[in-house]
């Protein structure tokens, strides 16, 4: 950590009341409940602090990683070398007419409730997704025939030089679980959604129905990051996994959920290594049986517990994607 002394000093200077943690375990910040220590984890309070942090990381050639609710992340047991910027304190939501502008750290739950309260429809699908609106925009999250691409109108973001920019819908490059945000390493500060006027009772009924579908079908009682794998073209990952007889297969406390084979769950005290080993086992079995290689939807970040000599290196102009790997 000695090389971070000056960096920490600068971060302290640039952020007024931000919570700054050193060697903070990422298991405390991910829905999988795994992940080793991040060198530095900062929770900025406003856009100026986020800009300053990005500029500082660039100046000191230190990687930075953006997290919302950590509900789509698998952080390895060796943790993260660099600065994790957690955006949960940027969480204001404003409604004007049929538009909602929400800061990136606002929970999808709060955004969907704001839509309901104002009789606006179109984002009911996101009600049970346990992420932030910024994470959902970055991931183009979707469920039950809905997707962020259907409601996003514009975003305020920061590029990896620390400069503010507005991203209009036609510049977002939204595709299945991907976006320009991930591709170019932008930091989403706020998003504006364009919704339609609807009947509150109908909106509420749809939200309740989807919540029930989720609790009936998904292992919500266990830690996970949702669907572990992307949907391969022409197939459903969960069906391929189920038909490979992998339901209930486990490595330590990491298990292919019996309730929903598309979810790998942490039953109690799985390590990230257990989960990664299980992911590989599933990928290999499905490939052998069906000739289809499953890619992870979950973002895999960080280092193994005992990195081999010289493995850690810092790069300039890091993005939210640096440090992630397709396992
Ligand atoms: C039980 C469960 C059910 C789920 N169901 C669904 C589902 O139905 N559909 C679905 O799509 N997903 C689902 N997920 C996955 C996850 O909730 C979504 O991908 C969610 O949108 C991630 O948001 P987050 O804030 O947690 O992002 P994080 O996990 O914190 O980050 C995910 C990615 O987004 C980036 N990111 C986060 N915030 C920002 C920002 N402000 N600016 C730029 N980049 C950012 C990160 O760098 C990372 O690359 C589920 C997860 C769980 C645990």
Per-residue pLDDT of 205-245, as tens digits, reads 999 999 999 999 999 999 999 999 999 999 999 999 999 99
**Mean per-residue pLDDT for 68-94?**
98
Same domain, residue pair 55 and 155: no
The residue to which tokens 């510049």 are assigned: 171
Q: 60, exposed or middle or buried, with CB in 10 Å at 0-12, 13-18, 19+?
A: middle
Same domain, residue pair 85 and 99: no
Whether 141 is in the pocket of ligand 1, judged by its Cβ within 6 Å, is yes
Q: Cα separation of 30 and 238, whole Å?
A: 23
Whether 143 is in the pocket of ligand 1, judged by its Cβ within 6 Å, is yes
Q: What is the CATH number of the domain that holds 36?
A: 3.30.43.10
* Active-site pick, 154, 297, 318, 320: 297
Domain assignment of residue 293, yes or no: no
Whether 136 is in the pocket of ligand 1, judged by its Cβ within 6 Å, is yes
Domain membership of residue 63 as a residue range: 2-89
Reported as a pLDDT band with limits 50, 70 and 90, residue 307 is low
The pick from 31, 131, 156, 158 for probing ligand 1's pocket by mutation, whose C-beta has the most ligand atoms within 8 angstroms, reads 131
Same domain, residue pair 140 and 72: no
* Active-site pick, 33, 81, 177, 206: 177
Domain assignment of residue 267, yes or no: no
Domain assignment of residue 158, yes or no: yes
* Active-site pick, 154, 227, 261, 320: 227
Give the nearest ligand 1 atom to 87 CA. Answer: 41
Number of domains present in the structure of the chain: 2
Whether 299 is in the pocket of ligand 1, judged by its Cβ within 6 Å, is yes
Asked if residue 291 lies in contact with residue 223, where contact means CB atoms within 8 angstroms, the answer is no
Whether 318 is in the pocket of ligand 1, judged by its Cβ within 6 Å, is no
Same domain, residue pair 127 and 188: yes
- Whether 81 is a known active-site residue: answer no
Q: Cα separation of 258 and 263, whole Å?
A: 9
- Whether 227 is a known active-site residue: answer yes
Same domain, residue pair 84 and 99: no
Whole-number mean pLDDT of the chain? 93
Domain assignment of residue 141, yes or no: yes
Domain assignment of residue 117, yes or no: yes
Which of 89, 111, 141 is the last residue in one of the domains? 89
Which of 74, 89, 104 is the last residue in one of the domains? 89
Domain assignment of residue 15, yes or no: yes
Q: Kindly list the distances between the CA atom of residue 317 and the CA atoms of 147, 159, 186, 324, in Å, as whole numbers in the listed order.
A: 30, 10, 11, 15
Q: What is the CATH number of the domain that holds 158?
A: 3.30.465.10
Q: 84, exposed or middle or buried, with CB in 10 Å at 0-12, 13-18, 19+?
A: buried
What integer pLDDT is reported at residue 3 of this predicted model?
A: 66
Per-residue pLDDT of 257-304, as tens digits, reads 999 999 999 999 999 999 999 999 999 999 999 999 999 999 999 999
Which of 69, 89, 109 is the last residue in one of the domains? 89
Domain assignment of residue 261, yes or no: no
What integer pLDDT is reported at residue 43 of this predicted model?
A: 97
Same domain, residue pair 66 and 11: yes
Per-residue pLDDT of 17-66, as tens digits, reads 779 999 999 999 999 999 999 999 999 999 999 999 999 999 999 999 99
């Amino acid at each position: 950590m000695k090389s971070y002394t000056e960096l920490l000093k600068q971060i302290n200077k640039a952020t007024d009341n931000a919570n700054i943690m050193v060697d903070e375990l990422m298991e405390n910040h991910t829905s999988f409940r795994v992940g080793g220590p991040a060198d530095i984890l900062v929770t900025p309070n406003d856009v100026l602090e986020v800009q300053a942090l990005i500029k500082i990381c660039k100046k000191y050639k230190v990687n930075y990683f953006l997290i919302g609710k950590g509900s789509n992340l698998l952080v390895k047991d060796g943790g993260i070398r660099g600065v994790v910027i957690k955006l949960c304190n940027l969480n204001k939501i404003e409604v004007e007419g049929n538009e909602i502008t929400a800061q990136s750290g606002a929970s999808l739950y709060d955004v969907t409730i704001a839509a309901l309260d104002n009789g606006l429809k179109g984002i009911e699908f996101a009600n049970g997704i346990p992420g932030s609106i910024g994470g959902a925009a970055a991931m183009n999250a979707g469920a039950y025939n809905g997707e962020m691409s259907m409601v996003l109108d514009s975003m305020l973001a920061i590029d990896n030089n620390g400069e503010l920019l507005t991203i209009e819908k036609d510049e977002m490059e939204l595709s299945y679980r991907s976006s320009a945000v991930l591709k170019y390493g932008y930091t989403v500060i706020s998003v504006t959604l364009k919704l339609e006027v609807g009947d509150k009772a109908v909106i509420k009924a749809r939200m309740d129905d989807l919540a029930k579908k989720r609790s009936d079908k998904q292992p919500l009682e266990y830690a996970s990051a949702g669907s572990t794998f992307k949907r391969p073209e022409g197939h459903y990952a969960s069906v391929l996994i189920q038909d490979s007889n992998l339901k209930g297969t486990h490595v330590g406390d990491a298990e292919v959920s019996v309730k929903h084979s598309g979810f790998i769950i942490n039953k109690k005290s799985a390590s990230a290594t257990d989960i990664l080993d299980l992911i590989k086992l599933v990928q290999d079995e499905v490939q052998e049986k069906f000739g289809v290689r499953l890619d992870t939807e979950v973002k895999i970040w960080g280092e193994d517990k005992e990195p081999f000599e010289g493995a850690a290196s810092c790069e300039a102009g890091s993005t939210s994607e640096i440090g992630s790997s397709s396992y």
